[in-house]
Structure 1
């Protein structure tokens, strides 16, 4: 299968070259040239598959033979054999209208493990097969960094540098990254917020000479492999409900800041998964909610919240959606992104806005509402939500009709955000792996939020 840029200025590339390219060399994002269409018969047949079996079938569509099936199967099995639950992403019933899709059973207790365990193993496979050096560069609002580091730490032929905003991730998230002492890992604590980290990453990748000289590879969701891996759990959750006779009107409520997780759901729906509603949940950094409701995409004032992994203003996957919204016209997308770079905003109206509102419902959850949702769910059902999942559940309540079922994506274990949980006087016992972090020394380098400061560290490390 060929992969092309949303801006249309590079030649099509195959799956492996697309994974290695990360950000397209023209500054756009890679998308499959065609999205595979699944028949009802295929969907019915896939209902009985285990999670790794389902992942193999979906990956096979996009890898398109570049990796022999048996070798791809080994990569999948290695990636999901590390999860603590046999189902990998189990679905828990809260009440008749609400189910929770638990995506936190991987090594770092966050949904990012689902894609990054696979991508880490894939990078190691490519490095060995092609006898190539892979230098991974990524930014994190908290969970991507730990998951990425866990996926590649200690692996030959791979070095990884992760940027995180200084003082703006939870303590557990920070410890999961910075207590890793492997020689192939560098943590940079950047003065600024996540948008600053993400801007630095995208600009360094856009410098094609620098990117090629230092063999830079992407681990963030700008990498198409991340999105493809995240489509799997939408299919898996839908199939679990369908087997219980609840497949008629299934919604998914997705806490999102970078638009990657919900874009994976959008991809699954375009493939033929009969999703009823895609509900986009944000927090007080609600640029995406405003886009859906008003057609205006414009960063506002940054706000720190109890759901810090969603404290994002500029969503790096938004461009992929613009590509499909505009009929896969790369010229229009290039123009819109030029407008955004110049004016700091994108405005749509008319039929385009009506299409957005047909594709998504959206709701921005305020800080107090987030805490209230955690408290009420715990008191009524004995189920403890992390603050990001609570945003998804709050949005689910707003948009779920009586004859519908909503699956809210639970993106992290609540122990990763105990600072917020303690405000409610709820006591939880953290898993042993998280408890052990506080006794370990930390390894990180603090830098100013400039391209020059980060590139200087990269040159020394790589």
Structure 2
């Protein structure tokens, strides 16, 4: 399979795009043509375990990686002993037609583990075969950083330079990242918000000469490797939701997915799964008070906020106002036209917004998108409600998803809410909602008490360049 940039450059095959990250022309890698799946293929996949299903899904995209190598990578990435659930991704019924897709069973207790563990193994394979090294430059609003660092820690051919916003993550999230002592992990705290971190990463990644001189890559969701790996759990969840449906009725049986959204990568994978043929009725996008994406899907106007106007909320991993993956969706919306996509981003630079209101009528039903906003009060009420009615404690981001999902439930259509993280990562909000703190085991207490090591910098591109130049693998 060949890949191209949303802005027109030809990018090569899967190996090339997972190493490159951001395209040289500033765009994002997308398949030249999406593969398709049908009812017969879904039924053939139904008996597979998660690693086996991931091998099949990723095999549609990573056609340049031998199948036996891909299977080995997936078996390593998704071995059951690395996850709290032997299923890897359990699906649990809640109430009112909702089910919870358990994406947070991995080592860092967040959905990012599922894609990041695969990407770490895939990068290791590609770099070993090419006898090369790669320095990962990324930005995190909370869970990407810890998942990336835990997936890549201790690897000889990979180093991580992870930017995070000062004072904008939970204590648990900071501890998971900042307590790592591996020499290939560099935690950089930026005096700003997540969008400032993301902007620094993008500006440096757009400098092709600097990027190649210092062998820079990415594991943020701008890396298509993560997007492709996430498609697997949409298919897995559909299969589990339809296991009890009579075989004669499964063909075309639709479910809906509700997805807490910040950087738009997770729900983009659902968009691709639906476009490939997975029977998905609605993709329900849930935002917090930083509701730029909700505004976009309601009006067709994309208006990113400034750093000063990006709110600090109790679902901090969604405190994003400039969603980098939206460009991939806009590329699809504009007929896969690099010219129109580049023009849209030029409009964003000049006017501070993109007007796609002429296309807004296509969001539903053609593309299946609806959206909604959840507030702090909504989160607290939803956490309490789910705990009381279902006996399940959910984290604040997942609560945003449940709140908005309830607004879009349809009779006879299962609503699958993608879990974001485990509640213990956000103990303060859980305590406020339930009146009691999540239980902290000895391992968590040790983590929270461990010394933390970071490098603090202002929102300054040159200081970041100097830091990378002095510490990058060569």
Shared fold, TM over 0.5: yes
Structure 1 position 182, deviation (Å): 0.4
Q: Deviations over 1:176-206 (max 9, x none)?
A: 0010000111000110000000000011000
Report the counterpart of residue 41 of structure 1 in structure 2. 40
Query: Are 2:111 and 1:111 aligned?
Result: yes
**Aligned twin of 1:317:** 325
2-structure distance, mates of 1:129, 1:228? 22
| Other-structure match for 2:141 | 141
Q: Name the counterpart of 1:52.
A: 51
Give the Cα separation in 2 of the matches to 1:432 and 1:134: 35
Cα shift at 1:402 = 2.6
The aligned runs of 1:439-450 (5 Å cut-off) are: 439-450=449-460
**CA–CA separation in structure 2 for the residues paired with 1:42 and 1:6:** 29
Task: Give ranges in structure 1 of 5+ residues lacking alignment.
Answer: none
TM-score by length of 1: 0.97
Q: How far is the alpha carbon of 1:113 from its aligned partner?
A: 0.4
2:69 pairs with one of 68, 71, 96: 71
Does 2:189 match 1:179? no
Question: For 1:356, which of 351, 363, 384 is the aligned residue?
Answer: 363
The answer for the alignment partner of 2:237 in structure 1 is 237
- 2:334 match: 326
Q: 1:169 matched to which residue of 2?
A: 169
| 1:116 Cα deviation after fit | 0.4
SS in 2 for 1:403: coil
Q: Is the 8 A contact 1:75 1:122 kept in 2?
A: yes
The residue aligned with 1:437 is 447
Local SS of the residue matching 1:251:
strand
Aligned counterpart for 1:393 among listed residues 376, 380, 402 = 402
Shift, 1:84, TM fit: 2.2
CA contact 2:3–2:29 (8 Å) conserved in 1: yes
Q: What's the secondary structure of 1:137's corresponding residue?
A: strand
Q: Which residue of 1 aligns with 2:287?
A: 282
Cα distance in structure 2, aligned partners of 1:19 and 1:373 = 38
Quote the Cα distance in structure 1 between the aligned partners of 2:436 and 2:302: 37
> What SS class does the counterpart of residue 285 from structure 2 fall into?
strand
| Structure 2 unaligned regions, length at least 5 | none
- Quote the residue 2:90 is aligned against: 90
2:135 is paired with a residue whose SS is: strand
Contact 2:38 2:278 in 1 (8 A): no
Tell me which residue corresponds to 1:303: 311
Q: The residue matched to 1:89 in structure 2 has which SS?
A: coil
Q: Distance in 1 between matches of 2:106 and 2:262?
A: 21
Distance, in Å, in 2 between the alignment partners of 1:185 and 1:316 is 24
Q: Give secondary structure in 2 for the equivalent of 1:277.
A: strand
SS at match of 1:457: helix
Q: Would you say how many aligned residue pairs link Structure 1 and Structure 2?
A: 459
- The answer as to 2:380 corresponding to 1:371 is yes
Alignment partners' CA distance in 2, 1:312 and 1:431: 31
SS in 2 for 1:62: coil
- In the alignment, the residues of structure 1 paired with residue 122 and residue 300 of structure 2 have an alpha-carbon distance, to the nearest angstrom, of 38
Equivalent residues of 1:293, 1:357 under 8 A apart: no
Inter-partner Cα distance in structure 2 for 1:330 and 1:76: 33
CA distance in 1, matches of 2:214, 2:355: 37
C-alpha contact (below 8 Å) 2:22/2:218 kept by paired residues: yes
* Match in the other structure for 2:470: 460
Contact 2:221 2:325 in 1 (8 A): yes
What is the aligned counterpart of 1:267 among 260, 264, 272? Answer: 272
Provide the C-alpha distance between the structure 2 equivalents of 1:318 and 1:29, rounded to a whole number of angstroms: 10
Matched, 1:406 2:404: no
Classify the secondary structure of the residue corresponding to 1:73.
helix
CA distance in 1, matches of 2:279, 2:372: 22
CA contact (8 A) 1:415 1:431 kept: no
CA shift at 1:431, angstroms? 4.9
The reply to whether residue 423 of structure 1 matches residue 421 of structure 2 is no
Secondary structure in 2 matching 1:426? coil
Is this contact kept in 2: 1:96–1:405, CA < 8 A?
no
Cα deviations by residue, 1:64-111 (Å, 9 ceiling, x for unpaired) = 1x2211111111111111222111111011125010001111110000
Q: How much does 1:380 deviate?
A: 1.5
Partner of 1:255: 260
2-structure distance, mates of 1:213, 1:432: 44
Q: CA deviation at 1:432?
A: 4.5
The one of 337, 347, 350 equivalent to 1:342 is: 350
Aligned with 1:401: secondary structure? coil
Q: Deviations over 1:303-350 (max 9, x none)?
A: 111100000000000000001001111110000011111211001123
Q: Is contact 2:192–2:459 with CA below 8 Å preserved after alignment?
A: yes
Q: What CA RMSD, in Å, does the superposition of the two structures yield over aligned residues?
A: 1.2
Q: Distance in 2 between matches of 1:158 and 1:12?
A: 22
> For residues 13 and 127 of structure 1, what CA distance do their matches in structure 2 show?
16
Contact between 1:254 and 1:280, CA under 8 Å: does it hold in 2? Answer: yes
**d(CA) in 2 for partners of 1:137, 1:60:** 26
Moved more, 417-426 or 134-143: 417-426
Whole-angstrom distance in 2 between the partners of 1:343 and 1:5: 23
